[in-house]
Structure 1
Amino acid sequence: MTYAPQKLTREKVFRDPVHNYIRVDYQVILDLIDTPEFQRLRRIKQLGTTSSVFQGAEHSRFTHSLGVYEITRQICDQFQINYPTKQPGDGLWNDNERLVALCAALLHDIGHGAYSHTFEHIFDTDHESITRQIIMTPETKVNQILSQVAPDFPAKVASVIDHTYPNPQVVQMISSQIDADRMDYLLRDAYNTGTKYGEFDLTRVLRVMRPYANGIAFLANGMHAVEDYIVSRFQMYQQVYFHPVSRGMEVVLQKLLQRAKFLYEQPDHHQSLAPQLLIPFFEHDFTLRDYLKLDDGVLNTYFIYWLDYPDTVLNDLADRFLSRRPLKSVKFNPSTEDCLPEMRALTEQAGYNATYYTAVNNSFDLPYDAYDPSAKSPKTQIEIIQSDGQLNELSSISNLVAAISGKFSGDERFYFPKEMSDTANLEVFAPIYQQFNSYINNGAIQAHPHNQ
């Protein structure tokens, strides 16, 4: 079915530091941007605790979502100009798919919550499921606007995000190993963190994209731009997303919410100090309305209240998070992890509750994964199309990508209070601190040099 939504009489633009102008020419897109559900994304940081390390990383999921929309719009334009369909089944671009692609791109992250990944871990929420609920629930403004396009249009948009939409070209625009989502967050995160690792030639990558029957491929003469993108993604994960100090702040946040939930579950908890907007999550009985009330600012406000809460663990963790005092970390591996129980025990002896002041954090990424149909979640491979129409999977013709294909990168870290490695404490708990630091200083476990 072809949808003919209202076009704006004059193009609307949003100024953007990454894309210069984000162009909107459909009323439905402008209306979706103005919904309370989408505006909520202004109040949720794209990179969570990363701003504690890279101070410029204050950008929001709102700006990222607009960026994904803009890249998708550019892909649609490029496909329509260079590869428009001539007859049904020719594998070229049918511009009737444009609107569903644009709406899915704009809304792909709308279900993210406050400090989303940490919050999900503690309260067992799922931002992808919430995204579908926002799109499909008749009470939301998003659903009401999408339904004005056609009664089945919300389901079509949701199916793109669920990867069940029948046109693989549209799905791969939004979700694949090289998609509008990843391309925007690499460039946007690199810009806002002040790093160069995530930079790649977006213009060239978009120029060499082309549709084919089973999805999207890339022209062989643009393979080096695709390689550059893969390496940029690899570098951003190692240098920014997996930064040990940012992860140390995530651990503090996780333990803070964990402690708050534990205290609420105690029969003698202070009802007057209970965080009312979090109670539905403490009780595992929340609605979509409850979820949409939360953002980073709401949680930060509760953290400020908890500075005066009559529980030393809760108020100390709140202070550590608000005052940027991350837990310190050491790297370990299977041959050294038998040291961890003793390090936890020593932390307890020094007066810290090991449940809340120690943690193991694993951060691994797969920079590129060639398609494996037997895998639990097989990845859509990157196809390079030759001049004769032959398709080659990227790592089969790129030595650079082959070198990192299928290889996980990252590390495992043990987190503990920074005070445990502070030499000033040796006079207070000399045997405990000396023994604890012996595990670090003898080289069995590797401390990170930039944990301050």
Structure 2
Amino acid sequence: MKVLEKLAQEKVLRDPIHDFIHIQDKLILDLINTKEFQRLRRVQQLGVSNSIFHGATHDRFGHCSGAYELARRVTDYFDEYYATKEEGDGLWNPEERMVTLAAALLHDVGHGAFSHTFEHLFDTDHEAMTQQIIMGDTEVHEVLLQEGPDFPNKVASVIAKTYPNPQVVQLISSQLDVDRMDYLLRDAYYTGASYGEFDLSRIVRMLRPYKNGIAVNIGGMHAVESYLVARYQMYLQVYFHPVSRGMEILLEHILYRVKELLASGKEDKSLVGPLLAPAFQPDHDLTVSEYLRLDDNVFLAAINGWQDSDDTILSDLSRRFLGRKPLKSIQINEQTAPHLDRLEKVVKEAGFDPRYYTARNDAYDLPYDDYKPTAKKPRTQIEIVLPDGSQRELSELSTLVAAIKGRASLDQRFFFPREMLYNGPDDLFSEVHADFKSFIKNDSFTPDGQ
């Protein structure tokens, strides 16, 4: 076994969530100092959500560092109390510590600009890109090779969920993992949403390894309940916020407009500049090097310039985005759905191109579910260890979790220009606005226009 190189003196990062992030291994410090990891300082954790929650300016660097810190605490705890004694006993193998820490630190190193918005627009996958960064010609790859020629592949396989030890995989990616535990607390802190809080220390001390993964001692069940409720509330109140989604749609439509202008030949590559040009090149798969040059700042600088575009749609959308003028919305349900085509038509009659000024948007999350082997993406259920050593799935013991198990949170909305509701006395489209507002009053659908 390779003897891991410890730092002569522990390094610490001050952190508002975990107090200190303890860096004890040279490998971890070297990974943090790579240019690929430092790029995460320029990728915000919640994309455009800071336009609603002004404190939400935290970045992926902090989140990845926090996920590492939680993995360090868990593995240290396992090393002390649950270290394997004989082969096949299902306990924790201390030799798995470093691959776990590296995977936790790097799990989001491939995230694109503006959180998940980039993936929707440019058909990328941050987990696939993370694996390419780990295995490619990068500083991250060179650092990982310090632990051995096969170490980068081991870390990449944890991200891909193919690593042979399910304990390691579940610590990084499951329904109770270091990723979720960190981002829930971190996002709650920076958005000011106190309902996103839960007893992290209790959960960490109640985790225990077993042959097929990670379980929770019965004494930690209520802390896990609180964690799942916090996750449920954060999705409804923060991640699904309609104004944030209205801003995301503006961003998407800005970039779609740029794509259209370039494809039509109305603009040349000077519209996007050398850094953005590869992303807008048709049928071009971004290289790792091209991808890593893109961050929030690159896009924001471009949008700032597009405010002065000769194209009225691009300039208007850019000004709305930077001036925080999100699209308004109403919920889509059985009552509203039959009238959406009519509403889009009215928006068009008012002079707005519906392709860029309307949208139908779904926000979906499943707060908890048990293992279903036939599902497209089966979830690793949370196992509770009883005093006699036997295990039960969480919802079998918790009536609270049973009530939310398998119940998806779905919020479907129709977005439209805010001017459709707030026209002035000199508005040229007063009759059109009256028609639109016969359907919508005070952001709610009304059947008056039927």
Q: TM-score, normalised by structure 1?
A: 0.96
Q: What are the superposed Cα offsets for residues 21-57 of structure 1, whole Å, 9 maximum, x if unpaired?
A: 1001110100000000000000000000110000000
Corresponding residue of 2:227? 229
**Identity over aligned pairs, percent:** 55
The aligned amino acid for 2:166 is P
Please state how far the C-alpha of 1:425 moved relative to its aligned partner: 6.0
For residues 5 and 178 of structure 1, the distance between their equivalents in structure 2, rounded to whole angstroms, comes to 28
Conserved 8 A contact 2:40-2:59: yes
Q: How many residues align?
A: 445
Corresponding residue of 2:178? 180
Conserved 8 A contact 1:332-1:446: no
Structure 1 residues 209, 271: closer, same or farther in 2, change over 3 A? closer
User: Secondary structure of the residue that 2:440 maps to in structure 1?
Assistant: helix
Conserved 8 A contact 2:329-2:443: no
The aligned amino acid for 2:199 is D
User: Secondary structure of the residue that 2:209 maps to in structure 1?
Assistant: strand
For residues 264 and 103 of structure 1, the distance between their equivalents in structure 2, rounded to whole angstroms, comes to 40
1:36 aligned onto 2:24: no
Corresponding residue of 1:94? 93
The aligned amino acid for 2:119 is E
1:397 aligned onto 2:410: no
Corresponding residue of 2:150? 152
The aligned amino acid for 2:73 is Q
Corresponding residue of 1:72? 71
Structure 1 residues 152, 333: closer, same or farther in 2, change over 3 A? same
Structure 1 residues 430-439 or 292-301, which shifts more?
430-439
Q: What are the superposed Cα offsets for residues 56-104 of structure 1, whole Å, 9 maximum, x if unpaired?
A: 0000000000000000000001111111111111011111000000000
The aligned amino acid for 2:45 is Q
For residues 427 and 129 of structure 2, the distance between their equivalents in structure 1, rounded to whole angstroms, comes to 52
For residues 384 and 443 of structure 2, the distance between their equivalents in structure 1, rounded to whole angstroms, comes to 45
Please state how far the C-alpha of 1:125 moved relative to its aligned partner: 1.1
Corresponding residue of 2:126? 127
Corresponding residue of 1:140? 138
Corresponding residue of 1:410? 410
Corresponding residue of 2:382? 382
Please state how far the C-alpha of 1:145 moved relative to its aligned partner: 0.7
For residues 241 and 36 of structure 1, the distance between their equivalents in structure 2, rounded to whole angstroms, comes to 29
The aligned amino acid for 1:175 is S
Conserved 8 A contact 1:264-1:274: no
User: Secondary structure of the residue that 2:195 maps to in structure 1?
Assistant: coil
Please state how far the C-alpha of 1:303 moved relative to its aligned partner: 0.4
The aligned amino acid for 1:61 is R
Please state how far the C-alpha of 1:272 moved relative to its aligned partner: 3.5
Corresponding residue of 1:50? 49
Conserved 8 A contact 1:116-1:127: no
For residues 96 and 423 of structure 1, the distance between their equivalents in structure 2, rounded to whole angstroms, comes to 66
User: Secondary structure of the residue that 2:413 maps to in structure 1?
Assistant: strand
Structure 1 residues 318, 68: closer, same or farther in 2, change over 3 A? same
For residues 348 and 252 of structure 2, the distance between their equivalents in structure 1, rounded to whole angstroms, comes to 19
* 243, 246, 253: which one aligns with 2:244: 246
Q: What are the superposed Cα offsets for residues 341-363 of structure 1, whole Å, 9 maximum, x if unpaired?
A: 11111111101111000001100
Please state how far the C-alpha of 1:423 moved relative to its aligned partner: 4.3
What are the equivalent positions in structure 2 for 1:7-26 lying under 5 Å apart? 7-26=6-25
1:204 aligned onto 2:202: yes
Please state how far the C-alpha of 1:442 moved relative to its aligned partner: 10
Q: What are the superposed Cα offsets for residues 169-210 of structure 1, whole Å, 9 maximum, x if unpaired?
A: 100100000100000000000111111011000000001100
User: Secondary structure of the residue that 1:144 maps to in structure 2?
Assistant: helix
Structure 1 residues 186, 274: closer, same or farther in 2, change over 3 A? closer
Q: What are the superposed Cα offsets for residues 234-283 of structure 1, whole Å, 9 maximum, x if unpaired?
A: 00000111010001000000000100111111123144333322221212
The aligned amino acid for 1:110 is V
For residues 114 and 203 of structure 1, the distance between their equivalents in structure 2, rounded to whole angstroms, comes to 32
Please state how far the C-alpha of 1:427 moved relative to its aligned partner: 4.6
The aligned amino acid for 1:396 is E
Please state how far the C-alpha of 1:393 moved relative to its aligned partner: 0.4
For residues 25 and 245 of structure 1, the distance between their equivalents in structure 2, rounded to whole angstroms, comes to 42
The aligned amino acid for 2:65 is L
Corresponding residue of 1:435? 435
Structure 1 residues 13, 274: closer, same or farther in 2, change over 3 A? closer
Please state how far the C-alpha of 1:117 moved relative to its aligned partner: 1.3
The aligned amino acid for 2:12 is V
Please state how far the C-alpha of 1:440 moved relative to its aligned partner: 1.5
The aligned amino acid for 1:212 is Y
Structure 1 residues 434-443 or 7-16, which shifts more?
434-443
For residues 339 and 444 of structure 1, the distance between their equivalents in structure 2, rounded to whole angstroms, comes to 13
For residues 352 and 425 of structure 1, the distance between their equivalents in structure 2, rounded to whole angstroms, comes to 19
Please state how far the C-alpha of 1:308 moved relative to its aligned partner: 0.9
For residues 291 and 272 of structure 2, the distance between their equivalents in structure 1, rounded to whole angstroms, comes to 17
For residues 5 and 192 of structure 2, the distance between their equivalents in structure 1, rounded to whole angstroms, comes to 40
User: Secondary structure of the residue that 1:218 maps to in structure 2?
Assistant: strand
Please state how far the C-alpha of 1:424 moved relative to its aligned partner: 2.4
For residues 94 and 263 of structure 2, the distance between their equivalents in structure 1, rounded to whole angstroms, comes to 54
Conserved 8 A contact 1:320-1:326: yes
For residues 437 and 281 of structure 1, the distance between their equivalents in structure 2, rounded to whole angstroms, comes to 40
User: Secondary structure of the residue that 1:116 maps to in structure 2?
Assistant: coil
Please state how far the C-alpha of 1:3 moved relative to its aligned partner: 3.1
Contiguous gaps of at least 5 residues in structure 2: none
Conserved 8 A contact 1:6-1:28: yes
Structure 1 residues 419-428 or 273-282, which shifts more?
419-428
Corresponding residue of 2:356? 356
1:275 aligned onto 2:270: no
User: Secondary structure of the residue that 1:10 maps to in structure 2?
Assistant: strand
* 210, 213, 222: which one aligns with 2:211: 213
Contiguous gaps of at least 5 residues in structure 1: 448-452
The aligned amino acid for 1:369 is D
For residues 269 and 367 of structure 2, the distance between their equivalents in structure 1, rounded to whole angstroms, comes to 47
